[in-house]
């Protein structure tokens, strides 16, 4: 598996898009820091970008890599390698290379700015941790979609829809529910509804840490009331781990019966 990981990683590291992605974060980091001149504010702006953008890029890279390397995967499948290891290697290769673009792209400007001397270091690290989680989650989800969809165009469509649903539509539906059923106690409902969306969960996780009540919103407030700041963070972190784990399990189950 490590060998496959290594080659997928090298292959992606040489693709132009990895650099575009890296440069984007690099420029974003510099611009935010030197225009804002305030690390805390930069972290909040970054959060808003990261929780929408990393899922999108993870989704697109995931499906793109799967369909682009389909024939090559077939060649690997004919070699004496367990097929589970091939796909796990590819999955980790994509996730790690995307994560590296994120970490380096944002890390460099922040380190140059002097993040290590600032109190915002923990907030910033949490941001990177959440970004990493989102990469692993959305690459896994998009790989699931690609594995289940033979047609490339359809696969792309479903993957983008999945992202759109979790990033935008989900919140809309959630809000409608809150408005329509506002005469009922909605604490538990909103808690559970948040767990089912990794993007919402990430947002709450960061906002709990940043401790900005104004941005916390309804679910965030319920979250804090219910679990407290530390326990709430622990819970949301745990659920994020589940969000990585479950799609990976389903990927392995799908692989057992998949024809190539």
Partner 1 sequence: MIEFKNLHKRFGKLIVLDGLDLEINKGGIFAILGPNGSGKTTLIKCLLGMVIPNKGEITFDKNSVLGKWTYRNNLNYLPQIANFPPNLTVIELINMVKNLRPKASNEQELIELFGLKPFLDKKLGNLSGGTNQKVNILLAFMFDSDLIVLDEPTNGLDPIALIHLKEMIQKEKEKGKTILITTHIMSFVDEVADEIVFLLDGKIYFKGTVEALKKQMNNDNLEHAIANLIAKQYA
Among 146, 135, 127, which residue's Cα sits nearest to residue 55? Answer: 135
* 260 contacts partner 1 (rule: CB under 8 A): yes
User: How many CA atoms are closer than 13 Å to the CA of 221, on its beta-carbon side?
Assistant: 7
Complex with partner 1: residue 83 or 152, whichever CB lies closer = 83
* 71 contacts partner 1 (rule: CB under 8 A): yes
Query: In whole angstroms, what is the distance from residue 20 CA to residue 33 CA?
Result: 20
Among 91, 96, 93, which residue's Cα sits nearest to residue 140? Answer: 91
Cβ at position 83, least distance to partner 1 in Å: 7
Among 34, 72, 122, 196, binds partner 1 (CB under 8 A): 72
Cβ at position 247, least distance to partner 1 in Å: 22
Among 125, 138, 56, which residue's Cα sits nearest to residue 95? Answer: 138
Of 44-52, 72-80, 129-137, 164-172, the segment contacting partner 1 by CB under 8 A is: 72-80
Complex with partner 1: residue 183 or 259, whichever CB lies closer = 259
Backbone angles phi, psi at 200, to 5 degrees: -60, -45
* 78 contacts partner 1 (rule: CB under 8 A): yes
What Cα–Cα distance (Å) separates residue 97 from each residue in 161, 176, 245? 24, 38, 19
Cβ at position 152, least distance to partner 1 in Å: 13
Among 36, 41, 83, 170, binds partner 1 (CB under 8 A): 83
Complex with partner 1: residue 213 or 252, whichever CB lies closer = 252
Query: In whole angstroms, what is the distance from residue 257 CA to residue 248 CA?
Result: 15
* 2 contacts partner 1 (rule: CB under 8 A): no
Report whether 28 contacts 49 (CB < 8 A).
yes
Residues that bind partner 1 (CB under 8 A): 3-4, 7, 10-11, 14-15, 69-72, 74-83, 256-260
């Amino acid at each position: 598996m490590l060998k496959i990981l290594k080659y997928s990683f090298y292959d992606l590291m040489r693709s132009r898009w990895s650099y575009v992605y890296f440069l984007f974060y690099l420029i974003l980091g510099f611009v935010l820091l030197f225009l804002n001149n305030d690390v805390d504010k930069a972290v909040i702006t970054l959060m808003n970008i990261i929780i929408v953008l990393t899922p999108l890029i993870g989704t697109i890279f995931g499906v793109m890599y799967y369909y682009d390397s389909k024939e090559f995967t077939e060649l690997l499948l004919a070699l004496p390698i367990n097929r589970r290891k091939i796909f796990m290697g590819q999955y980790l290769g994509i996730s790690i290379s995307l994560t590296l673009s994120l970490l380096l792209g944002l890390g460099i400007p922040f380190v140059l700015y002097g993040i290590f001397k600032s109190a915002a270091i923990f907030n910033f690290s949490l941001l990177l941790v959440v970004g990493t989680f989102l990469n692993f989650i959305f690459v896994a989800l998009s790989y699931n979609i690609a594995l289940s969809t033979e047609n490339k165009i359809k696969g792309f469509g479903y993957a983008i829809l999945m992202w759109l649903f979790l990033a935008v539509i989900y919140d809309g539906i959630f809000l409608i529910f809150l408005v329509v059923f506002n005469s009922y106690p909605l604490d538990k409902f909103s808690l559970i509804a948040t767990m089912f969306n990794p993007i919402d969960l990430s947002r709450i996780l960061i906002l709990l840490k940043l401790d900005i009540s104004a941005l916390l919103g309804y679910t965030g407030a319920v979250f804090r009331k219910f679990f407290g700041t530390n326990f709430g963070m622990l819970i949301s972190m745990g659920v994020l781990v589940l969000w990585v784990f479950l799609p990976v399990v389903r990927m392995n189950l799908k692989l057992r019966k998949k024809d190539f």
